[in-house]
Amino acid sequence: MVQAQDTSEAEKFGQSVYQLMEAMQTIPLFKDQGPDWLQVLTNCIGGNIGFIKNIGVESGDKKYITTGYSGIANQIRTLIKSVLRGVSDFNSVPESSGKWYPDPSVTGDKTGQQINTGTGLKNATYNILNLDPFVWFVHKQLGLSGYGFSLDDDVADVGAPGATKLSVDVGGVNKLPQHAEWTWGTTYGPVNATQGKIETVTGGDFDGHKKITMLGTTTLPPTSDPINVGLLVHGGDPDVGPGALVYGPGIPLGTRVDLPLPFQNELILSTKTPLDTQGLVGPFNFRGRVPTVLASAVTGNSATLRVTETEDLYGEATWKYTWSLVSGPTGVTASFSPNKTNASKKTIMTLSSRTPGNYLFRATITAPDGSSMTSDVSMKVT
């Protein structure tokens, strides 16, 4: 039995671990593959969902889910990713909560975690919410998005159709031609188009939506070869991630690509708002994630918060950045200076009191047309 300061989340986390192991223990065990418990653990970390019977597995040389009760497989996959991230359900406890990838070395006297040893409750000698320290090491210590054949990060088992060059760097990423973090929306990094034409889709599932046509080509490092923009930008996929965010003339903030039409070099958007254009307009920017918020360490009662990755986006000079404290210890408030201006993309946050705990801050970015998007950052005050 485990007790913790956040007893509700601890109980839910324990339930997720139990459900995951209950599912994985149904996979047939092998006599020559080590102890039973080790095989179950290997199946959990390895995500061997395809070996679970009666959820749509096809037998043969390759075992993978093609038909049947794929919803069960998706639920098990969610359990694996959640447990590796150290939370009960990553959909309800998002990364912005600051709870993903907890430090495995933090002991029970800090977390409140206690273990029933059979003779009574004792402080845990490690962080029980971290069941795979390697995952924490990759994300928190190395600062990397993912690792080979990983499940928890959604990015490491990536495809690169059409790629002609592979860049490798040892000891860091500084010598790589592309430093942008991998995202599903723009798998090869940020994409920019100098011009395009906005038209309305007629008929079909996207009737009334806007699309960008006549996008032309762009280049991506390390090559200088022209590539159709429509080949480099993805739409949303429920199993992988959201479509690319779109910035451009008349495009509301938060608009994403719903469906790329790569052979036509066109992109169908999630919005119906922009007016059709008679000719070419631009530029257009495509990004795989919302702008990132960075936070400095708290000095006294204050810290610097800053929105990054917006400087080269269309219309950024007209945006306003509004800061708010989403959650924190009871009774603590925060002020921001400056706030609600374009200059407040960088602001000084001041707490009403330096109360230890977890804080969540939000930057709301608003365009002149009233459209907006948000980005969060978590902070721990000790």
Higher pLDDT among residues 238 and 5, named by residue: 238
- pLDDT classification of 283: cutoffs 50, 70, 90: very high
Residue 213 has pLDDT above 60, yes or no: yes
- pLDDT classification of 83: cutoffs 50, 70, 90: very high
| pTM to 2 decimal places | 0.74
CATH number of 293-381: 2.60.40.10
Residue 69 has pLDDT above 70, yes or no: no
Residue 361 has pLDDT above 90, yes or no: yes
Number of Cβ within a 10 Å radius of residue 47 = 18
The arithmetic mean of pLDDT across residues 161-172, rounded, is 75
* Residue 66: predicted pLDDT: 47
- pLDDT classification of 114: cutoffs 50, 70, 90: confident
- pLDDT classification of 258: cutoffs 50, 70, 90: very high
The arithmetic mean of pLDDT across residues 103-127, rounded, is 87
Q: What is the pLDDT of residues 99-113, one digit of tens each?
A: 899 899 988 888 888
Q: What is the pLDDT of residues 21-66, one digit of tens each?
A: 999 999 988 888 889 999 999 898 888 888 888 775 444 444 444 4
* Residue 59: predicted pLDDT: 45
Q: What is the pLDDT of residues 296-345, one digit of tens each?
A: 989 999 999 999 999 999 999 999 999 999 999 999 999 999 999 999 99
* Residue 153: predicted pLDDT: 67
* Residue 139: predicted pLDDT: 85
* Residue 156: predicted pLDDT: 60
Higher pLDDT among residues 379 and 145, named by residue: 379
Q: Are 191 and 247 in contact (CB under 8 A)?
A: no
* Residue 308: predicted pLDDT: 95
pLDDT-above-90 percentage for the chain: 53
Residue 152 has pLDDT above 90, yes or no: no
Residue 155 has pLDDT above 70, yes or no: no
Q: Are 150 and 157 in contact (CB under 8 A)?
A: yes
Mean pLDDT for the chain overall: 87
Query: How far is Cα 355 from Cα 19, in angstroms, rounded to an integer?
Result: 37
Task: Give phi and psi for 166, each to the nearest 5.
Answer: -120, 125
- pLDDT classification of 183: cutoffs 50, 70, 90: confident
* Residue 64: predicted pLDDT: 44
Write the single-letter amino acid at 269: L
For 305, the 3-state DSSP assignment is: strand
* Residue 60: predicted pLDDT: 46
Higher pLDDT among residues 317 and 148, named by residue: 317
What is the domain partition of the chain in residue ranges? 2-141, 191-287, 293-381
Higher pLDDT among residues 317 and 238, named by residue: 317
